[in-house]
Chain A
Amino acid sequence: MNAALMILEIAVLVLGIALLLLDLWTPPARKRLLGYGAAVALVVVLAYSFKLTGETGFAFGQAYAFDGLALFFKRFFLLAAILVLVMAAEFSDRIASGISEFYSLILFALAGMMFAASANSFPMLFVSLELITVTFYVLTSFQRNRLASLEAGVKYLILGALSSAFLVYGIALVYGASGTMDFAELAGKSAALKDQPLFLLGLLLVLAGLGFKIAAFPFQIWAPDVYQGSPAPATAFLAVGSKAAGFVLLLRLFNTVGLDVTWHWEKLLMVMAAVTILYGNLCAIPQRNLKRLLGYSSIAHAGYLLLGVAAMSPAGSTAVLYYLAGYLFTVLAAFSVLAIIIRKTDIEDVSGLAGLNQRSPLLAATLTLAMVSLAGVPPLAGFFGKFLLLKSVVEQGGSYYAYYWLAAVALAGVVISFWYYFGVIRAIYWSKDPADLSPIEVSLPARICLYACIAGMLFLGLFPNRLVENARAAVLPPPPAKIAEKTAVAVASPASIK
């Protein structure tokens, strides 16, 4: 057994339990400081993770995999949790019940995400996803004196339970068809299984279960309500962490186990990606509530990320990883600003941004940069991420012409999205007669986080090479035989379609 590979997860879990205990001896006035402490501890864990670069291995049979992909996502989740913890500490006086429990729940969700990054068998996949989801049931309904927060919690609970039911049913069918739940063993059998209807249905239901987590069409219906109702730090972690956990499982499952199947599912994934992009962007246009707007925008981004999955090439997977990294800084910047504004004014409407430029130039600049990056304007991270995703899709266009249509739909989605992202920027700088011009102070830790997010957005946009190289090394290369088969299928398919 190789349990030492799990050192990062163990550290996070111990930290979470320690926070629960520390809560007992901390006077109420100082409890919010625990969040900063936890963030610093996570920075140490993140720094330690760089010592593990290049290590690979399995633990618990093949159930737990430690490889480049897992390590990339573990660092991703750690970074997200650090920023969310600081955001939560800023937001603490709006969270009525137990702020230190809020911190430790964030850490437990983080542990679940890190386990998901390494999940290499269906029991691990299911348990880590459940750990994430159950924690988020609590986090979304944390402001239980607000009706909206409770509503978000109940909606997430019901739809989350439904998606878990799909997932379990799918896993049961896969097990019934193959007799194993281990990804490595399934990958060996996948050539024989690819025409078995039970196995295909099982994999389809697993896709549905994961689709709920990443909020892709047609499983996106919960996202806007839950995003709007939850406390801002919980929403931010849901938007970044939960979505990324869904994508790492999707990448690992569909690029290793279901390889022979997914080659033939390109149409399904393409339709999902295209409809998700259009749905998210079109529905975001009339929104006035900022969190709801970001909820629809996150649906659209799930669509963009699915482009990379639908491209079914290492370039596509690389683009997904890069895009997620840029998305992390962008979304956390936007939600940090929102959390600070909501804490001060309790207004979630776009009109609440009026005069933000005079009230706090830093917040205004950060939110503007975040919106510009989400929209995908150079030189920010969002632009280069979209460029890589579209490039990976267009590259596949030679083999199957529908990829060109997919790229066109994605471009149309980007153009539509300019409308509402720039509506937010207009509200910041060009609102008429703002009612309240009192300055908003930003505390030092929050300022550090905002600067870190801005630096991340600019750095990834201007110097993408390093991360792209890292991501390329992290994605699992498909075996060469599959690529040859894929090109053979691709050459044959245009003729057969016509």
Chain B
Amino acid sequence: MQDILFYIFAALTLFFGFLVVVNPFSRNPVTSAMFLVLTIASLAGLFVLLNAFFLAAVQILVYAGAVMVLFLFVIMLMDIKEEERRRFKKFGVAMGLTAVAGLFGIVAKTIAESGVGAGLKPAFEGDTKTLGTALFSSGQFLLPFEIVSILLLVAMVGVILLSKKDLK
């Protein structure tokens, strides 16, 4: 059952992810953003299958909810007409396809060679309590977690600096 669900969610993630980047019917960024919501939702399904329940919930709440609203704001503030008119450069498309094909080839060969294994047992159930214990007890994850707070401070200072209207 779990295996089947995994394949369903993985296929959906890939399919929607593909539509975010290359949608044959529409080049409207809003459509892409909407497909990104679906991609994120199917990713949340994959997290549930990995027992990472908290991560799945956060994925929906934060990414599909808050972050996507921001994305839509930004898209609507920008002039998207120009983006729709723009043609792709042939050289760029060719190089991009080559790179993607090469990467895909390496990954496919690796997976084929290593075979589908039983997979790892999850280290712990991903509910909030165990996750909190793992992050905040003095184990190996505490320090990276605290450094992320500095990272967020830097991002905040940077955004304010770069978007401030008047230059002093």
Contacts and interface: CB of A to CB of B under 8 A. Distances in A.
Interface in A7-46: 13, 17, 20, 28
A96 B138 CA distance: 42
Interface string B137-154: 011111110011011011
Given A1-B138, A142-B161, A198 B150 contact: no
Contacts, number: 100
Interface in B30-60: none
B168 A197 contact: no
Given A131-B147, A138-B161, A182-B140, A108 B154 contact: yes
Contact of A198 (B110, B154, B162, B164): B110
Interface stretch (A60-68, A245-253, A378-386): A60-68
Interface string A50-75: 00000000011111100000000000
B140 to A, nearest CB: 4
Interface in B102-137: 106-107, 109-111, 113-114, 120
A62 B141 CA distance: 10
A115 B147 CA distance: 9
A101 B144 contact: no
B154 A97 contact: no
Contacts of A63: 140-141, 143-144
Contacts of B143: 6, 59-60, 63-64, 115, 124
Nearest to A208: B103
A274 to B, nearest CB: 21
B155 interface: yes
Interface in B67-126: 106-107, 109-111, 113-114, 120
A111 interface: yes
Contact of A98 (B153, B154, B161): B161
A447 interface: no
B116 to A, nearest CB: 11
B158 interface: yes
Nearest to A198: B114
Interface string A378-414: 0000000000000000000000000000000000000
A107 to B, nearest CB: 10
Contacts of A97: 161-162, 164, 167-168
B147 A138 contact: no
B4 interface: no
B139 A105 contact: no
Interface of A: 1, 6, 13, 17, 20, 28, 59-64, 96-98, 101, 104-105, 108, 111-112, 115, 121, 123-124, 126-128, 130-131, 134-135, 137-138, 141-142, 144-145, 153, 176-177, 179, 181-182, 196-198, 200-201
Which 8 pairs between the two chains have the least Cβ-Cβ distance? A138-B158, A63-B140, A61-B140, A123-B144, A127-B144, A1-B138, A96-B167, A197-B110
